[in-house]
Each structure stands twice: as structure tokens, then as C-alpha cells.
Structure 1
């Protein structure tokens, strides 16, 4: 599964894969694998991404069209 929304959100913020890798404390190569679907994204990283982008994990995983987080 490719993580298109994660790539789109990153690009919308004019960030590189290297920028996001630094935010997540992982290597750029690992982040690239996540974005391309080469590796499944661990739950901890999904939660960090959702928090960073202020969206739900379900949105990142394309389980919903709603970005908003129920708080």
C-alpha cells in the first residue's frame, strides 16, 4: 500500500523527505520506504504523523475523507 496522503501532506507543507525524517527521528531512507509502501508504518510513527499534520490516523490510512481529529 502506498501512503499517498502522507506524501501529499508533506508536499503541501513544502517539506522534503529528509525534513520529515528529522521530525520523526528516523532516516530519510526509512521515511522513503514508508511513503512508497515498501515498509508498513509502525503505529508510533503513524501517531506522530497524525499529530504533526493535525489529522486522524484513519485519514492517513485513507479510511475516511475527514481530516478532523475528534477531540
Structure 2
């Protein structure tokens, strides 16, 4: 169980960093992105900081909105 939590934390941090990176590349703030996705700014902040992970539907919306692949949002590589 401990290993699973470590993997999930790493994945949350990776996804969050990638969401933030792609948002900043597009010169948008959290409020603008949240409004476009119809989510709260606090929810987006939780994704970006790794406190929460978006479900697959939100990941699809983020990928479509920023015109990147889901793999780009989930991989541990620089965008």
C-alpha cells in the first residue's frame, strides 16, 4: 500500500506540473482556464499542486483545450 501511495503522489505531481506548464505556455491564469472548463479555480489549483488529480473527463477537456495529448499531460517530460 505504501508503494501505491508513493506512485499516486508522483503521478499527481507530474500531472499538476504539466497542467501548470501548459497553462503558462498559453499565457493564461487559473481563473481563465477554470472558467473555460467550467470548474472552480480552487479545483484547478488543487490539480496543479498535486493535492488532487483530475478525472479522465477533465484530462480530456484539458488536453483538447490546450491542444495537447493526454500523454503530454501525464508523462514526466518537459512540454
Q: What TM-score results when the alignment is normalised by the length of structure 1?
A: 0.82
Q: Residue 32 of structure 1 corresponds to which residue in structure 2?
A: 45
RMSD: 1.7
Aligned residues: 66
Give 1 or 2: higher helix fraction.
2
Give the 3 Å change call, closer, same or farther, for CA 4–63 of structure 1 in structure 2: closer
Do residues 41 (structure 1) and 54 (structure 2) align?
yes
Offset at 1:34?
A: 0.8
- 1:4 and 2:17 are equivalent in the alignment: yes
The alpha-carbon deviation at position 6 of structure 1 amounts to 1.0
- Residue of structure 1 in register with 2:31 after alignment: 18
Per-residue CA distance 1:25-58 (angstroms, 9 max, x = gap): 0110011001111111111100001101111101
Unaligned runs of 5+ in 1: none
Cα shift at 1:64: 6.7
Unaligned runs of 5+ in 2: 1-11
